[in-house]
Chains A and B, each alone.
Chain A
Amino acid sequence: MSKKILLEHAHIEGIETFDTYRKNGGYEALEKAIKTMSPEAVVEEAKKSGVRGRGGAGFPMGMKWGFLAKPEGVPRYLVCNADESEPGTFKDHYLMKTIPHLLIEGMIISSFALGANKSFIYVRGELMYVINILQQAIAEAKANGFLGKNILGSGYDLELVVHPGGGAYICGEETALLESLEGKRGNPRNKPPFPAVKGLYQCPTVVNNVESIANMVWIINNGGDAYAAVGVGRSTGTKLISASGHIKNPGVYEIELGLSVEEFMNSDEYCGGIRDGHHLKALVAGGSSVPIIPANLVYKTANGEDRLMSYESLSDGGFATGTMLGSGGFIVFDETACIVRNTWNFSRFYHHESCGQCSPCREGTGWMEKVLHRIEHGHGNMRDIDLLVDVAKKIEGNTICPLGDAAAWPVASAIRHFRDEFEWHVKYPKEATRPGAVYMGEAELV
């Protein structure tokens, strides 16, 4: 069994209730932080731990906290990003419904560290049942004196508000989330100014992912250095991976960063291997936004080194031969998956979710979807393939928020690695559109 930091108690019956959670060491970290530590000391532990943002960008959380402006007389806010909507990612959903108190405790510790007296958990509206679980947990924490006025007699006040979203992937982008929290359309803001200076209601704000915040509980209990000792290199700690697709055991797994991809994929403790009688064709390692890689680059990097589940190893080789850890949405494709159809599907997702503010993303995502739809449905041209590459290039990096990049990367990478499959769709449209037809061609299977 590998190290468990978040899901150590997940299997315990009734862990979603306050009493069971408390019996299993819950809220001890909070007591330690509030009674024995200064807010600065908590921030220091977060910095030492090296924990990186688990929402996808992987920015060190302690550093982000350090950027928070602290002008006199202006409230500061902590907002938890639980708007998990990235295709392939469902770890926060699992964490919140299984151990809601872990997030609540993490929120209280983090709010204390940042000096926030009102903090928000922005949960995607579809997860209304999870919102109810969180509300229940908050009520329990309040009833036991861990939340509200004068927490544990320390004089520190905190109010936690769960805010439901309304169905928009873009609200996972932190500034769009803040706009949404202010009751507006989820249009991302131009940066700078960053939320650390002007965030919610134009006040200094930190936005962190559910998993990042939940990590704080263990970090306070065991120290930032102990956390930094887990994992590999700059990828410290553990990571929740949402495994889906053509594997034997889809689900959410906690892994120590640095585990080899091969072990994660094939060990019975985790994915359990590709489903019987099939072979690995491709992998999306960190949610639909990251580049897709073909089977021959999954277990080994282009240099022949073992590919590990870590920020650095997965992105080894850059966009040419690598991918990214992203939010940990591990989507596995076997040889029955049609890459063109999947790329079209993802592209449709980004077209549907683009907020429509800036022109490259608003127009470009729709364009790519329409062209991919044509290719998939047997009306493509050879020049369409290069067109897609060019459009993706023109969107990437030129938009207000990363949704443009997220829309461009899957298309660009699919064509980079599976161009022959796109060409096959163009050359043999009748064959390609037959139900269940899959191109086997040059793709290397493992």
Chain B
Amino acid sequence: MNQVAEPIAFTPERQKRVDQMIANYPEGRQKSALLPVLHVAQEQWGWLSSEVMDHVAKLLDIQPIEVYEVATFYTMFHLDPVGKNVIEYCRTGPCCLMGAEDVYSHLKQKLGIQAGETTPDGLFSLKEVECLAACGWGPVFQIREKYYMNLTNEKVDSIIEELSQ
């Protein structure tokens, strides 16, 4: 890493949200806010570096290892830098019954990358995930908060096109 070291801090708007989250839980149980705060951190920095996690630990007054333990347990957190759009596609049974495997191989071909990789322009990353609770509307993938459902090769093309603009 050859980034210029800058102090890690949430933007004022996000810091306000984080404070609210911590206040949601009973006195002394501020550790409960860990998952919500990590989501906000990922929203701001794109991924969770150890510096970011240390910052979160300080905010919640817990040991850094407690944050690492949690961040590595849950699959939504990116522990390495990722592209601008992380396409998280569901690989579980019901989606596969709807022809998901073909759609995903088209997607991989279109982007020229495999799961876990990022396109050279940094626009897209692919991530294989398990069931997204949208089985009747499969195949399905998720980019940030948005669900893209009932995917076909054509739909995938237009989504990629749109996001490449």
Contact = CB atoms under 8 A, between A and B. Distances in A.
Does A associate with B in a complex?
yes
B15 interface: no
Interface in A325-345: 329, 331, 333, 337, 341-342, 345
Contacts of B76: 125-126, 166-167
Interface string A146-183: 00000000000001010111111100000000001111
B133 to A, nearest CB: 5
Interface stretch (B90-98, B116-124, B153-161): B90-98
Contacts of A331: 93-94, 97, 135
A186 B24 contact: no
Nearest to A85: B131
> Interface size for chain A: under 10, 10 to 19, 20 to 34, or 35 or more residues?
35 or more
B69 interface: yes
Tell which of A168, A183, A242, A243 has the most Cβ of chain B within 10 Å: A183
A90 B133 contact: yes
Nearest to B28: A201
B35 interface: yes
A163 B36 contact: yes
Nearest to A352: B130
Contacts, number: 148
A349 interface: yes
Interface stretch (A4-12, A30-38, A244-252, A312-320): A244-252
A183 B97 CA distance: 36
Contact of A164 (B36, B70, B134, B144): B36
A309 B74 CA distance: 35
Interface residues of A, dominant DSSP: mixed
A161 B24 contact: yes
A379 B35 CA distance: 42
B29 A201 contact: yes
A89 B73 contact: no
A252 B134 CA distance: 10
B75 interface: yes
Nearest to B62: A183
Contacts of A159: 24
A93 interface: yes
B133 A93 contact: yes
B92 A168 contact: no
B133 A126 contact: yes
A168 B73 contact: yes
B27 to A, nearest CB: 11
Contact of B135 (A92, A124, A244, A333): A244
Contact of A127 (B36, B60, B133): B133
14 contacts: A86-B131, A90-B133, A92-B133, A126-B133, A128-B144, A128-B145, A161-B25, A163-B32, A165-B74, A166-B39, A167-B129, A183-B29, A183-B66, A355-B73
